[in-house]
Amino acid sequence: MTERLTTRAADIRVGSTTDGLTPISVAERRLGASWPQWLSLGSVALAGIAADQLTKSIVTSRLDLNDQVHVVGPFSIHHVTNSGIAFGLFASATSIVILLTGLAVAWMLYFFARSGSRHPVLPVALGLVIGGSVSNLTDRVRLGHVTDFLDFKYWPAFNLADTFIVVGVAALLLALVASDHHSSRPVREREATRP
């Protein structure tokens, strides 16, 4: 009888579940966004919308459509409009572009609500993408087109919202690649780098 109790006691390990027999293989952590992260996302998105709308307003009030001002080298401020998405694609399908943009923004908010704590760069990266998307979406709904003005001659003209979207997506991809690379390193190597 004593021998059986000793054997059972030896099977119980530190870090086991409440039944004392099944070892815990993964630590759970909450990935949903916290209020400070939502605040960061909202601040970045609102700043992006404000900057984009302000620059478009300045361009439309100072330059007539198709007018341009040379700045330096191949760069000029060129007032053009675009009823499609990037580079003039889907120019005749504004309502579809509006619908797809709205769905994309809704999906990004859902993703952030569920995974906002996954990486510290997510609030900024998604804030830039959402801010740029919402600013261009606002113009499409209100005007039927977006105003583009940053022209590098050999590249279709674009605006600040487009820039925010590209920078946000690039930051998001780099963060996810870095996070994936970090999690794929062997456990011993990760523990050795801890302070």
Helix (H) or strand (E) holding 122: helix 122-143
As given in the structure block, the two tokens for residue 175 are 């963060």
As given in the structure block, the two tokens for residue 114 are 């569920």
Which residue in this structure is represented by tokens 């996302």? 41
Count the neighbouring beta carbons within 10 Å of the beta carbon of residue 24.
10
> Reduced to 3 states, what is the DSSP secondary structure of residue 79?
strand
Q: Is 162 among the residues known to form the active site?
A: yes
Point out the catalytic residue in the list 19, 148, 151, 180.
148
User: What region, left, alpha or beta, does residue 87 occupy, with left being phi > 0 and alpha being psi -120 to 50 degrees?
Assistant: left
DSSP-derived secondary structure letter, 23: B
SS percent in the chain: helix, strand, coil, step 5: 60, 10, 30
Q: Is 148 among the residues known to form the active site?
A: yes
Distance CA 151, CA 79 (A): 9
The catalytic site residues sit at 148, 162
